[in-house]
A and B are shown apart, each in its own frame.
Chain A
Amino acid sequence: AQRVTQPEKLLSVFKGAPVELKCNYSYSGSPELFWYVQYSRQRLQLLLRHISRESIKGFTADLNKGETSFHLKKPFAQEEDSAMYYCALSPMDSNYQLIWGAGTKLIIKP
Chain B
Amino acid sequence: DTEVTQTPKHLVMGMTNKKSLKCEQHMGHRAMYWYKQKAKKPPELMFVYSYEKLSINESVPSRFSPECPNSSLLNLHLHALQPEDSALYLCASSQAGGNYNEQFFGPGTRLTVL
Q: How far is the CA of A84 from the CA of B90 in the complex (A)?
A: 16
Docked-complex contact B108 and A43, CB < 8 angstroms: yes
Docked-complex contact B40 and A46, CB < 8 angstroms: no
Chain A residue with the shortest CB-CB distance to B106: A43
- Indicate whether A46 sits within 8 Å of B94 (C-beta atoms), given known contacts A84-B40, A97-B56, A103-B41: no
- The answer to the question of B70 belonging to the interface, with a C-beta cut-off of 8 Å to chain A, is no
- Indicate whether A96 sits within 8 Å of B56 (C-beta atoms), given known contacts A32-B100, A44-B90, A46-B102: yes
Q: Interface SS of chain B: helix, strand, loop or mixed? A: loop
Docked-complex contact B40 and A103, CB < 8 angstroms: yes
| B107 CB contacts on chain A under 8 angstroms | 42-43
Q: How far is the CA of A37 from the CA of B56 in the complex (A)?
A: 24
**Number of chain B residues close to chain A: CB under 8 A:** 27
Docked-complex contact B41 and A95, CB < 8 angstroms: no
Docked-complex contact B90 and A96, CB < 8 angstroms: no
Give min CB distance, A28 to chain B, whole Å.
Answer: 17
Give min CB distance, A106 to chain B, whole Å.
Answer: 13
Give min CB distance, A6 to chain B, whole Å.
Answer: 9
| A96 CB contacts on chain B under 8 angstroms | 31, 33, 45, 48, 50, 55-56, 94
What residues of chain A have their CB less than 8 Å away from a CB belonging to chain B? Answer: 32, 42-46, 49, 84, 86, 88, 90, 94-98, 100-103, 105
